[in-house]
Structure 1
Amino acid sequence: MSPEALNSLFAIGIGFALAGALASGYQALAQRPAGFGLLQEGVAPRAFAAVPFLVFAAPFIIMRNTLRGAKIERRRVEFVMMATVLAGFWSLMSGTFFVMTLRAAGVLA
């Protein structure tokens, strides 16, 4: 496996782990699951604060909603696969950003 592929795999894993930790932490504090409905608060500081949270928690929310929809609503396999690819790419981007931030802060070598 090439170093670039291994780095991408690591970034995807970090992105999903970060998304899961953020969404689980939100659910523990707010006693309700995180969702894109946080943006429906109108023009309020809470809605603006939800944007950076959702940027990093979105892969978990997308996969949770997709798997629930596949089970409950019997969604087609193509839709589930497309949502999985989208969540994976989003996780790759957020994981790459998080790793780059850690490197810039001197936490990672």
Structure 2
Amino acid sequence: MLATGYQALAARPASFHALLTGGATAYAHVPFLVFAAPFIIVRNTVRRERFENNNPIGVAVATMIAGFWSLMSGTAVIVLLRAFELV
């Protein structure tokens, strides 16, 4: 939802290029990218696979990394909500 909302507001897809700008802008994008990164990784992998004939092992590894990242970021949110006794 974050990456799609970003794309609707910014009229361009979310990417890791914001980190290359440096300064306060790069630091401001870090919290967003922590949660949007799994979507960006899978989107980039699917795009690359569509235009290039890569091996399926690379796609599987990228999908596992994105899935694990997504699970861990969700776990961090639940831990924070429990710490503030909101759940």
Global fold match (TM > 0.5)? yes
Q: Note the 1:27-106 alignment, pairs <5 A.
A: 27-42=7-22, 44-106=23-85
Residue 22 in structure 1 maps to residue 25 in structure 2: no
CA distance in 1, matches of 2:41, 2:58: 12
Which one-letter code corresponds to 1:55 in the other structure? Answer: V
State the TM-score, normalized to the length of structure 1: 0.74
Measured after TM superposition, the shift of residue 107 of structure 1 is 3.0
Alpha-carbon displacement from aligned partner over 1:51-109 (angstroms, at most 9, x marks no partner): 1111111000001111111111122101000101110111111010112222233332x
Tell me the residue number matched to 1:18. Answer: none
CA distance in 2, matches of 1:84, 1:26: 22
Answer 1 or 2: higher relative contact order, Cα 8 Å, separation at least 6: 1
Unaligned runs of 5+ in 2: none
Moved more, 84-93 or 67-76: 67-76
Identical-pair percentage: 56
CA distance in 2, matches of 1:29, 1:45: 20
Q: Which runs of 4+ in 1 moved over 4 A?
A: none
Unaligned runs of 5+ in 1: 1-20
Q: Give the number of aligned pairs.
A: 87
Which one-letter code corresponds to 2:34 in the other structure? Answer: V
CA distance in 2, matches of 1:27, 1:107: 30
CA distance in 1, matches of 2:54, 2:77: 32
